[in-house]
Amino acid sequence: MSLSANHILRNGQIQFGYFEDSVLDANGRHDITPDAFGRRRSALDKALKYKQFQYFGGMSQRFVFGCALIDLGYCNSVFAYLFDTNTGELFSRSIKRPGHVGMSLSTSPVAGQSAFNAADLTVLQGYEAEPRVKTLRLQIGDELFIDARMPESGFQPMSLTTRAGYHGWVYANKTAGLALTGELIWRGQRYDLAELGAMGHHDFSCGFMRRETWWNWACLSGLVRDESNIEHTLGLNISTGVNETTFSENCVWISGQCISLASATFEFDPQDVLQPWQVSTLDGRIKLTFTPLGLHKEKLQLPLLKSHFRQIFGRFNGRVEIDGACYTVSNLTGFVEDQFVRW
């Protein structure tokens, strides 16, 4: 089923399924879907239980970086980091604020701007419609500056809405396997993202998510060759634990074409996530080994919010088989996650 990409709501209720394209308006706060007892969400529920997060990640053989803007209703947070694979150094910053203080988020993954500003950290994530581009502008004091553009012309995003609990839902818009342009300035030294061969991933998610949830996730972007030695861009987005109620977010992009995948499995040691992971799908199309290089982690145990978050960056090796064609994944940079949250 392919849905109109104008709005995630139709007659006040959420549309479930795959959309033709990125949704122009993903503001779902006015959803009137009743709960199991026929009651609609209260104004307080809409204010405190609507969740949003927008993540821009970049990966190359030299540098890996990520930046997330997160709005939980009663508080917001941002984290950003840069990992230098040459030195093994991780530079990161994380800030949390009450309510919406310091943060504004776009309700569209196509046109708008999301922003955060506090202390020495400034983040702008932009969405441009014509031509289709996603951007990141990140400044952390005098140490790190990133100005990245991720053009999406001719690219097919993953765009869907799935159920989450009885009357909850999640809208997810994701991209991977797209080349980045722009610059990265790290402690006074400038790097050209195109010359680094940097590629990007973006996640725009929102909705009335489960009060307690978890997920494992894997993403990579890079260049691969098929059996005829022809080069292709490859992007991968697979997860388990969130968007798999009827519809699944699992997909691979081959030269910009989005191809759906079966359910995913993640085999790893939760007590030592820096040991190798085995990442695969039940249809046999994805068989990868992930070797960690480092991680960004956060652990919170507060009255309203409990979270154990680990995003690990490293190298993927293995194979991807699509429609009889086999693509060799050799030392491509990407991410995996292990997350538990009660929000």
Confidence band (pLDDT; 50, 70, 90) for 155? very high
**CB neighbours of residue 163 within 10 Å:** 18
Task: Please state whether beta strands 306-322 and 286-301 pair in parallel, antiparallel, or not at all (unpaired).
Answer: antiparallel
Helix (H) / strand (E) containing 93: strand 89-98
DSSP track, 203-235 = EEEEEE--SEEEEEEEEEEEEEE-TT--EEEEE
Phi, psi of 263 (to 5 degrees): -60, 155
What is the arithmetic mean of pLDDT over 32-50? 93
DSSP single-letter state for residue 165: T
Q: What is the pLDDT of residue 5?
A: 74
Instruction: Note if the bond before 303 is cis, omega within 30 degrees.
Output: no
Mean pLDDT for 32-54 is: 93
Question: Going from the N-terminus, what domains does the chain have, and what CATH number goes with each?
Answer: 2-342 (2.40.370.10)
Q: Span 194-221, mean pLDDT?
A: 97
Instruction: Let me know: does 279 contact 290? Beta carbons within 8 Å.
Output: yes
Closest CA to 92 of 78, 73, 105: 78
CA distance 321 to 27: 36
Half-sphere exposure of 308 (CA within 13 A, CB side): 7
The candidate with the shortest Cα–Cα distance to 136, out of 220, 13, 54, is 54
Mean pLDDT of the chain: 95
Instruction: Please say whether the beta carbons of 251 and 260 come within 8 A.
Output: yes
d(CA 72, CA 91): 25
Helix (H, G, I), strand (E, B) or coil at 195: helix
pLDDT class for 246, splitting at 50, 70, 90?
A: confident
What is the pTM (predicted TM-score) of this model? 0.96
Q: How far is CA 123 from CA 20, 53, 78, 102, 138, in A?
A: 30, 14, 9, 10, 5
What token pair was written down for 254? 């081959």
Under the banding of pLDDT at 50, 70 and 90, the label for residue 329 is very high
Mean pLDDT of 324-340: 96
| Residue % of the chain over a pLDDT of 90 | 93
| Residues β-bridged to residue 214 | 340
The answer to whether 234 and 327 are in contact (CB under 8 A) is yes
Over 60: is that where the pLDDT of 168 sits? yes
Instruction: State residue 1's pLDDT score.
Output: 54
pLDDT band (50, 70, 90) for residue 247:
very high
Average pLDDT over residues 320-329: 95
Task: Give the integer Cα–Cα distance in Å for 269 and 232.
Answer: 32
Query: pLDDT of 273-311, one tens digit each?
Result: 999 999 999 999 999 999 999 999 999 998 889 999 999
Report the pLDDT value the prediction gives residue 302, as an integer from 0 to 100: 87
CA angle 192–295–136, rounded 5-degree value: 35
- Total Cβ atoms within 10 A of residue 19: 24
Tokens encoding 12 = 């006040």
DSSP state, residue 25:
B
- Stretch among 102-111, 146-155, 297-306 having the lowest mean pLDDT: 297-306
Is the backbone of residue 165 left (phi > 0), alpha (psi -120 to 50) or beta? left
Helix or strand holding residue 274 (H, E): none
